[in-house]
Amino acid sequence: MERWTFGEAPLDVTRELASALRDLMGTALALEEPSPELRELIDTLRAAQERLAARGPTDLAPRIGDSPDPTRRVYLDHSRDVGDYNACFPVYEMRVHDDRGEGRVTFPVVYEGPPGVVHGGFLAVFFDCALQQLNCDMGTSGKTRTLALRFRRPVPILTELELVAERSIAEGSILSTAELHLDGTLMCAAEMSAVLGDRTALPAVSPRRHA
C-alpha cells in the first residue's frame, strides 16, 4: 500500500539542526548559572538567523495550490517523523503493519512539565503525530476531528516508553487509538477521530526551488 504523503522532504541539514537545537536547549535548561559560552552562542545564532532570513522567502505562508506565489516558503511533509526536522516536536520510533503500530519514545528534558514528568500538551502533540503517521503509512488519512487523552499515571521524562497503536475505518471516518506503557503499565492513552480524506482532492504542492 502506498504511503500517504503531502509536501516536500526536509533538508538533511535541517534534520541535523533540529537534533542539535533540542539537545542544546536541554543542556541550557539544566544550567545552574549564566554562562559566557551560552551568551556567545546566542549572539552567533541571532546573527546566523538574520543571514539565513535574507536568503529565504519573504512570505512565510506555504507554497501550495495551482498558482503558488514564488515568494512563499516550501511546505514540508508532516505525514511522519516531524520531530526529525522540527525541534519543537517529539522524536519517536514506530513500525507499522496490519493496521497496527508499535514503537518507543523517550521524552527529553525540553518536554518537562511537573518535576520529572512530561507536560500533558506535549503528550497530545506526540499522539497526534504518531496516530497520523499510522494512518498515512497505511495509505489513508484525513483531518483530525477529535483527539482525546486519558492520563492514567504521570509519564516520566528520560525514560523509554512503549507505544502501541491501532486504527479502523468505518462510515467515512478513521478511528485511531494508542497507548503508552512503562514496563507493562499503562501510562497514557489517546483516541483520535479523523475524516477519511481523498488524496485526489489535495492541492498541488510546489517543489523545492533550486538556484
Is residue 116, in this structure, part of any structural domain at all?
yes
Domain that holds residue 64: 12-201
* Residue matched to cell numbers 503493519: 97
**What's the pTM value of the predicted model, to 2 decimals?**
0.92
Per-residue pLDDT of the chain (211 residues; tens, 9 = 90+): 678 889 999 999 999 999 999 999 999 999 999 999 999 999 999 999 999 999 999 999 999 988 889 899 999 999 999 999 999 999 999 999 888 999 999 999 999 999 999 999 999 999 999 999 999 999 889 899 999 999 999 999 999 999 999 999 998 899 999 999 999 999 999 999 999 988 888 898 999 887 6
Q: Is residue 93 part of a domain?
A: yes
The number of folded domains in the chain is 1
> Does 71 reside within a domain?
yes
CATH code at 185? 3.10.129.10
In angstroms, rounded to a whole number, what is the distance separating the alpha carbons of residues 83 and 74?
18
SS3 readout for the chain: CCCCCCCECCCHHHHHHHHHHHHHHHHHHCCCCCCHHHHHHHHHHHHHHHHHHHHCCCEEEECECCCCCCCEECCECCCCCHHHCCCCCCCEEEEEECCEEEEEEECCHHHECCCCEECHHHHHHHHHHHHHHHHHHCCCCCCEEEEEEEECCCCECCCEEEEEEEEEEECCEEEEEEEEEECCEEEEEEEEEEECCCHHHCCCECCCCCC
